[in-house]
Amino acid sequence: MMMPVTPVWLEKIQYTPLNFFCDGWGAVILFFVLSGLVLNLKYIGLKTLPPRWIPTFLINRIFRIYPAFFVAILLSLFFRFVLYDPSVMGAMSADLNSHWRDPLNIPELLKLFTLVAPGIHPAQIDPPMWTLVYEMRISLFFPLVIFCLSRRWKIMNDLVFLAVIYLVCLVPDGATIHCVPFFVLGAVCARHLGWIRSVLGKFNPGMQVLWLAASVVLLETVAMATPYPLAGGYASYLCQQLVGLGAAGIILGCVSFANVAALLSSSPFQFIGRTSYSFYLVHMLFQLTPAPLIYHLTGSWLATWLTALILTYFVAWLMFRYVEKPMIKQGHAMAARFSKSPQASPTMPAK
């Protein structure tokens, strides 16, 4: 994203399944499917949904998403007005040069703070935040999905429910609504995770590789279809949903195949996982600055990339340690207090 000209090797793979290694869109879809799975996982196996579970669900989501998001906005404003230097942007990509050029739109900033207001466009503040807009909007009515999937349905009923969601969300130019099926797909996977793991866990190594390879191919459906004209928004929507199926396949493979699960449980991957939310929030800030200054001083893309990567992870770790963890804990505590039934007032003793 920083380089002004796409490298030749990248041009050769960007319309193939190997685009998996640099596919930001596919990674976002995987994140959405994973969110749906995790959000529904805690309700699986319950005979009845807990009292006041909808408000406690929303409290936890607010404390999970907003605190780090607010810190990222403050960092974005600091980077933009204190550290950003347009004079060193000449060597960077046209995409990076398109940001932070226009004056800051205060009404747009105020809308972004809500994460759910209509017509939010965060590109001139922190571009990756558009995904949080979808995440929070869908979180507001995700309890309805949890409620529907808590019914004592058979697996066929769940698949019919998922198919209905696909059809309901098949609307022209429905940006947020087009992402709803990804969350629902994850929620359906969570409901049957035990059975799926028991089936996939019996695969031999060859079948495991084939499963993950097929999932990666599906994840890159949009990338592979890019050179070809798609017949309207419906074909694009279909391609996006195939990407969602690929994302689900990768997630289910990772939790079902012992060797992959062991690798992802190792310390480096655990660190990457824990810091991933904050990393995502701030990674583009470091591409906008100080990356251009580093390249201006060194003339080396490798030095620029490594330095920006290290700085991003350092800040992401600080945000996780001092913002995310305390706020998640606070959210759980507040949700727990809210979910408790108020104690009955003591009765006055009879005279």
Task: Render pLDDT for 105-131 as a digit per residue (tens, 0 to 9).
Answer: 899 999 999 999 998 989 889 999 999
What pLDDT does 229 receive?
A: 76
What pLDDT does 231 receive?
A: 58
Tell me the C-alpha distance between 272 and 286, whole Å: 17
In 3D space, the residue among 350, 324, 342 whose CA is nearest the CA of residue 60 turns out to be: 324
pLDDT reading at 342 higher than 90: no
Which DSSP symbol is given to 121? Answer: -
Q: What is the mean pLDDT of residues 149-163?
A: 85
pLDDT reading at 233 higher than 80: no
Please give the model's pTM, rounded to 2 decimal places.
0.92
Which pair of tokens denotes residue 191?
A: 């409901």
What pLDDT does 189 receive?
A: 96
Q: What is the mean pLDDT of residues 214-243?
A: 87
Top pLDDT among 231 and 40 is at 40
In 3D space, the residue among 37, 42, 45, 44 whose CA is nearest the CA of residue 189 turns out to be: 37
Secondary-structure breakdown of the chain: helix, strand, coil percentages, each rounded to the nearest 5: 75, 0, 25
Task: Render pLDDT for 12-65 as a digit per residue (tens, 0 to 9).
Answer: 898 999 999 889 999 999 999 999 999 999 898 888 888 899 999 999 999 999
Q: What is the mean pLDDT of residues 326-342?
A: 87
Contact between 288 and 84 (Cβ < 8 Å): yes
Task: Render pLDDT for 256-279 as a digit per residue (tens, 0 to 9).
Answer: 999 999 999 999 999 999 999 999
**Side chain identity, residue 235:** A
Q: What is the mean pLDDT of residues 346-351?
A: 37
The mean pLDDT value of the chain amounts to 91
What's the pLDDT band for 232 if we cut at 50, 70, 90?
low
Top pLDDT among 345 and 134 is at 134
Q: Is 277 helix (H, G, I), strand (E, B) or coil?
A: helix
Which pair of tokens denotes residue 251?
A: 């997630």
**DSSP line for 134-188:** HHHHHHHHHHHHHHHHTS---HHHHHHHHHHHHHHT--TT-TTGGGHHHHHHHHH
What pLDDT does 351 receive?
A: 33
Which pair of tokens denotes residue 254?
A: 């990772």
| Distances from the Cα of 334 to the Cα of 71, 105, 285, 338, angstroms | 21, 34, 32, 6
Helix (H) or strand (E) holding 350: none
What pLDDT does 343 receive?
A: 45
**Side chain identity, residue 238:** L
What pLDDT does 349 receive?
A: 37
Task: Render pLDDT for 158-168 as a digit per residue (tens, 0 to 9).
Answer: 889 899 999 88
What pLDDT does 228 receive?
A: 82
pLDDT reading at 199 higher than 60: yes
Which pair of tokens denotes residue 78?
A: 């600091």
Share of the chain above pLDDT 90, in %: 73
